[in-house]
Structure 1
Amino acid sequence: MTSGFAPVVTPALMASIRCRPHIPRHSWYFIAATTLMVLNRPDEIPKVYKHVMGHGVGPGDDIPGADEQLMMSRKLREALVKASAVGGLPKAINSLMELKKVTPDHLLDEPCDGDSNAVSPTARHRDVHATPASKIIERGQQFWNNIYGKISRRILSQLDRSGTEDLGLTARLMYGYILSNTNVLSPVETSYVLIAGLIPQDVNPQLKGHLRGALNNGATADEVRAVRGIVIEICEASGMKQLGEDVPGGWGWRSEVATI
């Protein structure tokens, strides 16, 4: 995919986000990729991948070893898969296809080809083909409860009573089969993906819940603020800005981005 737009990812931006205080070490690169996916700049994701593969995750220039390269490749792919739950499947498809173009063959995972006993890094194939749906939905419900805490039942009830119970059923499916699978990304890393997917969309009601959800999943307040900060920095680099009250619409935020 080629783009006539100005570049978002620059060496200065990469240096800024990877060295931001309190950002969890193995997270900034998949947070950046998620943000770019939702901004509809899949063409910029390969730059993030090449940078982290060539410079490592820390402030120094430490080229990752083979095992770390595989882990980072899988985290990036899984972040884009999970981001589809809030950012849309078409954007996830385009982003993963762009990422594949620059990923060495030995760092790609092959499909299970219908073998329910085959092993994949996520084991999501077994979730779909060899695990009772009730167990997956139950796992998703627990993940939902962990994120929303004491208001989890009320929020899900609101979805069920939105005018179509299918909204609540959709949430159960996404949380069960997509978000609650933590074989590659941990619960707190999944929260970071959701935060990165929501900020570019200017949806503060949902963002507030997932900022708190990251805390419930084990993040510190400083870590959550750092994640929020690098997402906003990438959004601003893409041209997003605070919109004035007299502006009917546009590329930006209608109110201050929620925080904790």
Structure 2
Amino acid sequence: MSVETPTLPASFWEPVFSLPSADRLRWYMCVVVALSSLNFPDVIPQVYGHLDANLLSKLSPDDCFSHVRRLREGLIKSTGIVGAARTGNAMRTLANCVPEHLREEESPRSKESEEVARTRGKAFWTRIYSRNKAFDPEASVRASPDYAFVVREVLYGRILSFDGIIDDLTTGYAMVSALYGMDCQNQLQHHMKGMLINGATRHDLEELQSLCLGLASILGVKFRYGRAPIPTLDE
């Protein structure tokens, strides 16, 4: 069954031009991650085309490779939120847009030991949740010790905490963008707080919310829940 691919209007792209140059790639990454989570991977070529015309085309080959690598890493990080199916569709769609010389030939994660990954994952998990008064660290363990193991040891270790390409805060942007697409309110609160702990401001969270919910509105997506409140660390 074929469906029509929506076209993002010219007005959608206007905010990216007012961003500092260092933040523009992150904006595109959030859009790609949100499209993956919302199950609109067929819109990703429009995003890559706009990125290429307005940013990549002005960079050196090495910088282009680094930028596209960070775009892919945002999707890989979002696998821990969205799952392999939608992320796989998005990643393969993105790959069809990317020229051969900007593709990766090996997995950096495969080169590190299980011990290194698990230690780093525990540290990242702690940085997200340690100052969150509303978070119950034993809730997942009570629900299922095996689920808690998979999340903390596998997802945080191998996927979410990997810091060879993007930092903690940028990882937070990817995770929260994915959570908006999933309409996952409880986790949105926790990970927005995690972003605050890792250096985001309330204004940053408001802008990210506007981007993700604005994109969903353009695509005609209706969520079950309302707009998530922006938290503070005191809550």
Asked if Structure 1 and Structure 2 have the same fold, meaning a TM-score greater than 0.5 normalized by the shorter chain, the answer is yes
Cα 1:74–1:203 change in 2 (3 A) is: same
Instruction: Spell out, residue by residue over 1:87-127, the C-alpha distance to the aligned partner (whole angstroms, 9 max, x if none).
Output: 1101111111111111010000113xxxxxxxx5xx20112
Alignment partner, residue 87 of structure 1: 82
The question of 1:168 aligning with 2:125 is answered: no
Q: Is the 2:202–2:230 contact (alpha carbons within 8 Å) kept by the matching residues of 1?
A: no
- TM-score, length-normalised on structure 2? 0.89
Alignment partner, residue 181 of structure 2: 200
Kindly provide the amino acid, as one letter, of the partner of residue 171 in structure 1: V
Distance 1:26 1:96 in 2: 17
Distance 2:133 2:104 in 1: 35
Distance 2:201 2:4 in 1: 36
Q: Is the 1:139–1:180 contact (alpha carbons within 8 Å) kept by the matching residues of 2?
A: yes
Counterpart of 1:239 (choices 213, 220, 230) is 220
The question of 1:137 aligning with 2:136 is answered: no
Q: Is the 2:69–2:165 contact (alpha carbons within 8 Å) kept by the matching residues of 1?
A: yes
Counterpart of 1:183 (choices 145, 156, 164) is 164
- After TM superposition, the structure 1 = structure 2 runs for residues 83-122 of structure 1, keeping only pairs within 5 Å, are 83-111=78-106
Q: CA deviation at 1:20?
A: 6.1
**Could you list the runs of 5+ residues in structure 2 that have no partner in the other structure?**
none
Q: Is the 1:53–1:69 contact (alpha carbons within 8 Å) kept by the matching residues of 2?
A: no
Q: CA deviation at 1:258?
A: 2.9
Greater Rg, structure 1 or structure 2? 1
Partner-residue secondary structure (3-state), 1:7: coil
Distance 2:217 2:63 in 1: 30
Q: Is the 2:5–2:42 contact (alpha carbons within 8 Å) kept by the matching residues of 1?
A: no
Distance 1:3 1:231 in 2: 25
Q: Is the 2:81–2:178 contact (alpha carbons within 8 Å) kept by the matching residues of 1?
A: yes
The question of 1:155 aligning with 2:140 is answered: no
Distance 1:188 1:7 in 2: 30
User: What number of residue pairs does the alignment pair up?
Assistant: 230
**Could you list the runs of 5+ residues in structure 1 that have no partner in the other structure?**
112-119, 241-250
Partner-residue secondary structure (3-state), 2:23: coil
Partner-residue secondary structure (3-state), 2:73: helix
Partner-residue secondary structure (3-state), 2:129: helix
Q: Is the 2:132–2:193 contact (alpha carbons within 8 Å) kept by the matching residues of 1?
A: no
Partner-residue secondary structure (3-state), 1:232: helix
> Could you say what the CA RMSD is over the residues aligned between the two structures, in angstroms?
2.4
- TM-score, length-normalised on structure 1? 0.81
Cα 1:11–1:68 change in 2 (3 A) is: farther
Q: Which moved more, 1:214-223 or 1:137-146?
A: 214-223
Q: Which moved more, 1:32-41 or 1:211-220?
A: 211-220
Alignment partner, residue 257 of structure 1: 228
Q: CA deviation at 1:199?
A: 0.9
Partner-residue secondary structure (3-state), 1:181: coil
Structure 1: which 4+ aligned runs deviate by more than 6 Å?
A: none
Q: Is the 1:207–1:258 contact (alpha carbons within 8 Å) kept by the matching residues of 2?
A: no
Name the structure with the higher helix share: 2
Alignment partner, residue 51 of structure 1: 50
